[in-house]
Amino acid sequence: MKKTILIVDDEPTILKLLEFVLSKDYQTELKSNGYEAIQWLEEETSLI
């Protein structure tokens, strides 16, 4: 099972680039701002 990495950036191109590079070794979760990232982290209580 791959570990999950949270990628947060407001530039869609950067998000996709990082997803492309990291998805080989990690399950990726993409968020476009800090608010979305915090909401996701609160839902994924196993990560906190």
Q: What whole-number distance in Å separates Cα of residue 29 and Cα of residue 39?
A: 12
Q: What is the tens place of the pLDDT at every residue in 25-46?
A: 999 999 999 999 999 998 886 6
Mean pLDDT of 8-29: 97
Nearest to 37 by CA among 23, 47, 26, 25: 47
Contacts of 11 (CB under 8 A, 6+ apart): none
What are the distances in angstroms from CA 22 to CA 33, 40, 43? Answer: 19, 19, 22
Q: What whole-number distance in Å separates Cα of residue 12 and Cα of residue 15?
A: 5
Specify the pTM.
0.82
Q: For the chain, what's the residue count?
A: 48
